[in-house]
Each structure stands twice: as structure tokens, then as C-alpha cells.
Amino acid sequence: YGAPPISSVRIRTTATPQSTARAEKAAENKFRNKETMSDERTFIMLKPDAVHRGLIADIIKRFEQKGFKLVAMKFMIASEDLLKKHYADLSSKPFFSGLVKNMASGPVVPMVWEGKGVVKTGRVMLGETNPVDSKPGSIRGDYCIDIGRNICHGSDSVESAQKEIKLWFKDEELVNWKPCCYPWIYE
């Protein structure tokens, strides 16, 4: 009750216009460095079983809440030719034709996510290929039971991600944008 009114309080500062400009420049450079730290991209695809079960929004939400940035997404029926190219490394496996037929049986949601360590972290978030081996809290651990219906695909390396992104997306379909939340995600 003996405090002076706010309007009469004077705050002394030692900041000069030059020091303020230097501080603003340093903050701007620090933010720029944050942006360059997050240029890794990965390819994530939701399979027909995820689409039919209504899990698209739940899975996207997990990547957004982690702090990753969505830079491309499609909703499509993939051709068998495209799927054969995508899964070419599995072409000698006995389950290959069944995998391609299953993936072509309904819509898929191919996406590109960007962020620091997104390839490795994205794989951890998805869980093990066999849902039985996936930890609770992972996408497959929470939503899957059977290996043949494991709802999602994620790139296993930066090189695979680059290859898969080029297979599924044209360069002009990748949207470069800066989320306003980056200062709250990256130090």
C-alpha cells in the first residue's frame, strides 16, 4: 500500500542503441543456426490399414507434438509399379507380392517430415517392424498386433529417406516454411 504508482517508476538501463542492435543480431543468428540444424528429412508413409482404421490424425499429431515439421503429404492410391520400386530391396522375399497387393489395396498417406535427427527419432517413434517387439508408447506398440498390418513405413537412413522422397514427391511439392514455434523447440 505504500508503493508508488506504476507510472512514476523509472527503470534505469545501461543499454545503448549499439548494444541493443548487437543483442538483436546475435538472437537472429542463433535462430538461423537453429533452422540449419533441422534440415534433415525423412519419409513416413501411412499404410492402408492405418487409413481404414482412422489413425491418420493420431499419427500426424505425434510427429507434430515431438516438434517435427511436415513439409509434404499426399492422400493417394499407389500404383503397383510405384510400390515395387519403393520396396525393391524386398523383391526376393516370399512375402513381396502380398506386400505390394496389400499396399495397393487402399489409400496411403506418404509424408515428408523435417527436424533435427528426424530419421532416427522417427524410427523410434514408429517402433519395431514387428509390432509384438514394439514398446508401449511407440506408434506400432500402441496401435498394432500383426506384422502384416503394421500401419506405417519409415525411412531407415538419411540416404533411404532421400531416395524415397524423390520417388514419391517432386521437388516443388516439398514446402519450405518456418514454424513460429521453432524457438520453443530448438535451443
Q: Domain ranges in the chain?
A: 39-185
The class (CATH top level) of 39-185 is alpha beta
**Residue that the C-alpha cell 505390394 belongs to:** 100
CA distance 166 to 120: 19
pLDDT at 64: 97
Query: Over the stretch 114-145, which tens digit does the pLDDT of each residue have?
Result: 999 999 999 999 999 999 999 999 999 999 99
Is residue 20 a known part of a binding site?
no
Q: pTM (2 decimals)? A: 0.79
Is residue 150 a known part of a binding site?
yes
Q: Concatenated DSSP letters for the chain?
A: --PPPGGG--------HHHHHHHHHHHHHHHHHHHHHT--EEEEEE-HHHHHTT-HHHHHHHHHHHT-EEEEE--BPPPHHHHHHHTGGGTTSTTHHHHHHHHTSS-BEEEEEESTTHHHHHHHHH--SSGGGSPBTBHHHHH---GGG--EEE-SSHHHHHHHHHHH--GGGSPP---TTHHHH--
Active site residue 52: no
pLDDT at 167: 99
Is residue 13 a known part of a binding site?
no
pLDDT at 127: 97
Catalytic residue among 153, 154, 161, 164: 153
pLDDT at 33: 40
pLDDT at 87: 97
Is residue 123 a known part of a binding site?
yes
Is residue 129 a known part of a binding site?
yes
CA distance 45 to 51: 11
pLDDT at 58: 98
pLDDT at 186: 87
pLDDT (tens, 9 = 90+) of the chain, 187 residues, equals 565 555 554 545 555 666 555 555 554 544 444 444 468 999 999 999 999 999 999 999 999 999 999 999 999 999 999 999 999 999 999 999 999 999 999 999 999 999 999 999 999 999 999 999 999 999 999 999 999 899 999 999 999 999 999 999 999 999 999 999 988 988 8
Is residue 66 a known part of a binding site?
no
